[in-house]
Amino acid sequence: MSSFLIILDLVLLAIILVFVGIWGWNKFQAKSMGGELTNEEFKAGMRKAQIIDLREKEPFKRKHIDGARNLPYTMLKYQYNELRSDLPVYLYSDSNTITLRAARFLKKKGFVSIHWLKGGFETWDGRTKKSKY
């Protein structure tokens, strides 16, 4: 019975190590892309950046960060070439997973300065706008 418990402990330890490794790798990748920005950091750099709202068209119309451009994640692989790779890209959406996927995609396409809003659009405390269309 004790050998079964030892094997169970080793399996649990391996699972924990895998999760810690994945978490560490994601943190490392995030740092290499640029990383997340607080509201204050986002506001401070947004005049020199391309602000991209990754949400779909309807949520963007209802409310978005003032100065943002709507480029839904579902269309990113078809329209990323409309962005300038020599300028910083500031991303946000309602989903951290979507935002990180978009950041990784842009990194693979040669963009070097990619940042995203910590906590997504829900945490934004700056100026917003409603679309006219």
Residues in the chain: 133
How much is the pLDDT for 17? 92
How confident is the model at residue 61, as a pLDDT?
95
Q: DSSP states of 60-93 as a string?
A: HHH-EETT-EE--HHHHHHHGGGS-TTS-EEEE-
- pLDDT < 70 regions, the chain: 1, 26-34, 132-133
What pLDDT does 23 receive?
76
Q: What is the pLDDT of residue 133?
A: 63
Helix (H, G, I), strand (E, B) or coil at 130: coil
86 neighbors 106 (Cβ within 8 angstroms): no
Say which amino acid occupies 124.
W
Q: What is the pLDDT of residue 122?
A: 94
3-state secondary structure of 34: strand
User: What is the rounded CA–CA span in Å between residue 80 and residue 67?
Assistant: 18
Residue 59: what pLDDT? 96
Torsion of CA 70, 111, 120, 40, to 10 degrees: -110
Position 89 scores a pLDDT of 97
pLDDT given at position 25:
72
**8 Å CB contact between 85 and 109:** yes
Paired with 36 in beta bridges are 116
The pLDDT score that the predictor gives to residue 32 is 58
What's the predicted TM-score (pTM) here? Answer: 0.76
